[in-house]
Structure 1
Amino acid sequence: MMSNSTGNSSEDPNLGQRPPQQPYQPAAPVPAAAAPLTEAEDRQWASFAHLGGVIGFLPSLIIWLVFKDRGRFAEQEAKEALNFQITITIIYVIGWILTAILIGGLINLAAWVIAIIFSVQGFLKTKDGQAYRYPFALRLIK
């Protein structure tokens, strides 16, 4: 004899159906705190911040942002290099503006040579663990 499901209370009406499920939500990743730099790594990144000035202000900016909480020396020197590179960038802009009166090219050439010389000097000092202070720079990043 077949049973009729409409009138039979002993049969589960949800039989064969899946229970409602919550949508999959991956656990939020917990960022791990970056390890502090060793003394050698601190000096290395500090010196790279200065040497990066040969190609512009981005290397010192990136090094400062990444390592400012991980190494005191790297933070200090990357800030110093960044301030100098911002100053040089301002000089480049002034030089480009003054190209209309033909002196801008000389200003940009002089700024480029000065940036290379001082960046290499900063690199050589900081790789030995000595702080380097540029002869001139706007102290915008404190």
Structure 2
Amino acid sequence: MDQVTVPRNDRKARIWGMLCHLSSLLWIPLLIMGLPLPLANLAGPLMIWLNKRTKYRFVKVHGKESINFQISITLYATIILTIFTAFAWAFYILIGGIKGFDRNSWLELFKLIEFWLWCLASILGIIDSLLVTMASIAAQYGRVYRYPFTLRFLK
């Protein structure tokens, strides 16, 4: 990654760099309002990066990092959901052959699966929020932040 330093007096570059990260948390109020938009975590950083990358090199670096992380976290969530669903269906098929497993038992099983999916989603959301907060603080101080476990889609 480019090691970009921004002068302390270039406040606008630092603010836009910080907003590249913070705008990825747009999904949280949308989810609370009952509007769980897919890929809402990518919309903000992508718009800021596309509009400000030519004006501020600092925003170009932070925008790419934020977008790469949000694509990575979305990909990880999709993989976890797919694996968990596959295991749930395999369990469903295995249990299906057991006599005496009635409709109420199935409902309890699916409630349990739903609970664990919400737990996994919550953990990913908390990790996402913490790392985004750390990155935005680094941007505000004029430092470059590199997210852990991020696949580099944009070079």
TM score, norm. by length of structure 2: 0.62
- 2:49 is the counterpart of 1:64: yes
Letter in 1 for 2:80: G
Match of 1:20 in 2: none
Q: Distance in 1 between matches of 2:79 and 2:125?
A: 13
- 2:150 is the counterpart of 1:137: yes
Match of 2:106 in 1: none
Match of 1:43 in 2: 14
Quick check: which one's helix share is greater? Answer: 2
Q: Distance in 2 between matches of 1:108 and 1:138?
A: 20
> Identity of aligned pairs, percent?
28
Structure 2 SS opposite 1:57: helix
RMSD, aligned CA: 1.8
Higher RCO (CA < 8 A, seq sep 6+): 2
Structure 2 stretches of 5 or more lacking a match?
1-8, 27-40, 89-112
- 8 Å contact kept, 1:49–1:81: yes
Structure 1 stretches of 5 or more lacking a match?
1-37
Letter in 2 for 1:45: W
- Residues paired across the two proteins, number: 105
Structure 1 SS opposite 2:13: helix
- 2:84 is the counterpart of 1:113: no
Structure 1 SS opposite 2:66: helix
Rg larger in structure: 1
Pairwise CA distance, 1:99? 4.7
Pairwise CA distance, 1:91? 1.7
TM score, norm. by length of structure 1: 0.67
